[in-house]
């Protein structure tokens, strides 16, 4: 089979790495790909992930048998619909279902119709009415741009003035462009977050192990929010023996609601959860693998990912086709100094072979390019050094050994990825005694 992966980050490198393990695969193309996908033996093609016409043309030209979109942009733009029209199987939801991620107001509507627990919220198209609501409700509040804003359209406002400023930035100053034409204001939830992903074929949902990612740039959950500085699986806050009950609560009702709308959901449905004192509540849905959650999850996944994806597309997904190692996986993001704000590019990266040679370690490239035999940095999140271990502490230690083996000027990483989970495991062990 000839496969096209869409995207250029660490998630897409992980997908290429896993897909190439299938005996069914003869060639993998990546649009546009990165230095890691090229080192993996895939063929990078200079077509942007948002260029739907170019992607369809590429798939036709290369006689692609399966398209695998990584990021949200092509999915919300309708790449699955376009590929379906061209007669090419595509692993991902149609544009209607992808609105679960593309519109927070739409997601709230579907959640309310489906009876899924979530934060109380209000939707606004008028900034004055939104500001009046802020004053009436009082802080803390969460203010969200309705549309896609590259992960930057959510403000956790601790004071009323912060919430008013957020409304002004999003709706009046249009800090995130058209994404701010509509606004969602919701209650602030307290608890620990977890990522819960299921593979779906339109009617069946099969859970993957839980994961937890870390957004703040620096140790101790300090600093600006990022696209994700690391992740691990499983998250002790959501053990796998609770996965079926969680799918019944937050995934399968959504599938049923979308099916009633005439749009069965196919692909990965990702619920971002807050585990509150009043039970789990959904913060948001994504309609694809997360990044960096994808990297540790695919390190743990066993079986033929190509066959699993085809089963989803063809409506015949079987729970027994998915299995995973009992080991823990943990990924640490190596970022360029200054990220998520201005950062340098073009830094030479060395030590990749040494890191990959460490037991249980795999380096996934998030923002790199190739210049001859050299690998250069090209993004803010540059690498995700991921490791398997028998325990979370073991996986953490192996991943950080991999980080130490890599040499790159002006880089940084969080050194406490996994500590929250390790503390929770220690707490659980004490409670058992």
Could you tell me the CATH number of the domain that includes residue 46?
A: 3.40.50.20
Contact 8, 29 (CB under 8 A): no
| Same domain? 216 vs 281 | yes
| Same domain? 217 vs 337 | yes
| Same domain? 237 vs 139 | no
| Same domain? 169 vs 285 | no
| Same domain? 214 vs 316 | yes
Predicted confidence at residue 150, as pLDDT, reads 73
- CATH number, domain at 142? 3.30.1490.20
Beta strand pairing call for 43-44 and 27-32: parallel
Task: Quote the CA–CA distance of 169 and 252 in Å, as a whole number.
Answer: 36
Domain-located, residue 135: yes
| Same domain? 287 vs 336 | yes
Closest among 362, 299, 340, 268 to 70, alpha carbons compared: 268
| Same domain? 69 vs 145 | no
Annotate the chain with three-state secondary structure: CEEEEEECCHHHHHHHHHHCCCCCCCEEEEEECCHHHHHCCCEECCCCCCCHHHHHHHHHHCCCCEEEECCHHHHHHCHHHHHHHCCCCECCCCHHHHHHHHCHHHHHHHHHHHCCCECCEEEECCHHHHHHHHHHHCCCEEEEECCCCCCCCEEEECCHHHHHHHHHHHHHCCCCHHHHCCEEEEECCCCEEEEEEEEEECCCEEECCCEEECCEEEHHHEEEECCCCEEEECCCCCCHHHHHHHHHHHCHHHHHHHHHCCCCCEEEEEEEEEEECCEEEEEEEECCCCCCCHHHHHHHEECCHHHHHHHHHCCCCCHHHCEECCCEEEEEEEEECCCCCCCCCCCEEECHHHHHCCCCEEEEECCEEEECCEEEECCCEEEEEEEEECCHHHHHHHHHHHHHHCECCCEECCCCCCHHHHHHHHHHHHHHC
| Same domain? 170 vs 312 | no
Predicted confidence at residue 430, as pLDDT, reads 87
Predicted confidence at residue 197, as pLDDT, reads 98
Give the residue numbers spanning the domain of 27.
2-90
Question: What region, left, alpha or beta, does residue 92 occupy, with left being phi > 0 and alpha being psi -120 to 50 degrees?
Answer: left
Contact 14, 295 (CB under 8 A): yes
- CATH number, domain at 319? 3.30.470.20
| Same domain? 211 vs 164 | no
Domain-located, residue 99: no
From 67, 90, 113, the end of a domain falls on 90
pTM, entire model: 0.96
Per-residue pLDDT in tens (0 to 9) along the chain, 433 residues? 999 999 999 999 999 999 999 999 999 999 999 999 999 999 999 999 999 999 999 999 999 999 999 999 999 999 999 999 999 999 999 999 999 999 999 999 999 999 999 999 999 999 999 999 999 999 999 999 999 887 778 888 999 999 999 999 999 999 999 999 999 999 999 999 999 999 999 999 999 999 999 999 999 999 988 989 999 999 999 999 999 999 999 999 999 999 999 999 999 999 999 999 999 999 999 999 999 999 999 999 999 999 999 999 999 999 998 999 999 999 999 999 999 999 999 999 999 999 999 999 999 999 999 999 999 999 999 999 999 999 999 999 999 999 999 999 999 999 999 999 999 999 988 888 7
Tokens, residue 188:
């602030």
Domain-located, residue 8: yes
Domain-located, residue 433: no
From 139, 161, 181, the end of a domain falls on 181
Tokens, residue 332:
């640490």
| Same domain? 50 vs 79 | yes
State CA 258 to chain mean position distance.
Answer: 21
- In a 13 Å sphere around the CA of 151, the CA atoms on its Cβ side amount to 13
Other C-beta atoms lying within 10 Å of the C-beta of residue 391: 12
Domain count, the chain: 3
| Same domain? 158 vs 235 | no
Domain-located, residue 335: yes
From 44, 65, 90, the end of a domain falls on 90
Tokens, residue 153:
């359209």
Task: Quote the CA–CA distance of 212 and 288 in Å, as a whole number.
Answer: 16
Domain-located, residue 35: yes
List of residues 6+ apart from 100 with CB closer than 8 A? 93, 106, 107, 110, 254, 269, 285, 286, 287
Residue labelled with tokens 């037991």: 359
Question: What region, left, alpha or beta, does residue 394 occupy, with left being phi > 0 and alpha being psi -120 to 50 degrees?
Answer: alpha
| Same domain? 218 vs 317 | yes
Domain-located, residue 251: yes
Tokens, residue 398:
């192996």
Domain-located, residue 97: no
- In a 13 Å sphere around the CA of 153, the CA atoms on its Cβ side amount to 27
């Amino acid at each position: 089979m000839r496969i096209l992966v869409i995207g250029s980050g660490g998630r897409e490198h992980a997908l290429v790495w896993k897909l190439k393990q299938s005996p069914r695969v003869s060639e993998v193309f990546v649009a546009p790909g990165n230095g890691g996908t090229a080192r993996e033996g895939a063929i990078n093609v200079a077509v942007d992930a948002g260029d739907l016409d170019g992607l369809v043309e590429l798939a036709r030209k290369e006689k692609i048998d399966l398209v695998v979109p990584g990021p949200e942009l092509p999915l919300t733009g309708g790449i699955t619909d376009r590929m379906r029209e061209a007669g090419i199987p595509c692993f991902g939801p149609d544009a209607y279902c992808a609105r679960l991620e593309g519109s927070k107001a739409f997601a709230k509507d579907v959640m309310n119709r489906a009876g899924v627990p979530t934060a109380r919220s209000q939707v606004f198209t008028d900034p004055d009415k939104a500001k009046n609501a802020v004053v009436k409700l009082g802080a803390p509040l969460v203010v969200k741009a309705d549309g896609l804003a590259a992960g930057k359209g959510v403000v956790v406002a601790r004071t009323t003035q912060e919430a008013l400023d957020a409304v002004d930035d999003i709706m009046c100053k249009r800090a995130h462009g058209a994404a701010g034409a509509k606004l969602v204001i919701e209650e602030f939830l307290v608890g620990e977050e977890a990522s819960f992903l299921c593979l779906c074929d339109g009617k069946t949902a099969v859970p993957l192990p839980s994961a937890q990612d870390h957004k703040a740039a620096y140790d101790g959950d300090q600093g600006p929010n990022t696209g994700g500085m690391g992740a691990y699986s499983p998250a002790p806050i959501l053990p796998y023996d609770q996965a079926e009950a969680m799918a019944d609560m937050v995934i399968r009702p959504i599938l049923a609601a979308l099916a009633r709308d005439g749009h069965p959901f196919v692909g990965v449905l990702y619920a971002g959860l807050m585990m509150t004192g009043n039970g789990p509540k959904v913060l948001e849905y994504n309609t694809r693998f997360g990044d960096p959650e994808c990297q540790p999850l695919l390190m743990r996944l066993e079986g033929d990912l190509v066959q699993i994806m085809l089963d989803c597309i063809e409506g015949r997904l079987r729970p027994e086709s998915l299995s995973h190692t009992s080991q823990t996986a943990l990924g640490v993001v190596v970022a360029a100094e200054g990220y998520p704000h201005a950062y340098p590019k073009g830094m030479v990266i060395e030590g990749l072979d040494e890191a990959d040679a460490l037991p249980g370690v795999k380096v996934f490239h998030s923002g790199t390019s190739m210049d001859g035999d050299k690998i250069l940095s090209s993004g803010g999140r540059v690498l995700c050094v991921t490791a398997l271990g028998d325990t979370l502490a073991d996986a953490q230690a192996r991943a950080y050994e991999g980080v130490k083996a890599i040499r790159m000027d002006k880089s940084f990483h969080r050194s406490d990825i996994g500590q929250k989970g390790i503390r929770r495991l220690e707490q659980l062990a004490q409670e058992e005694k």
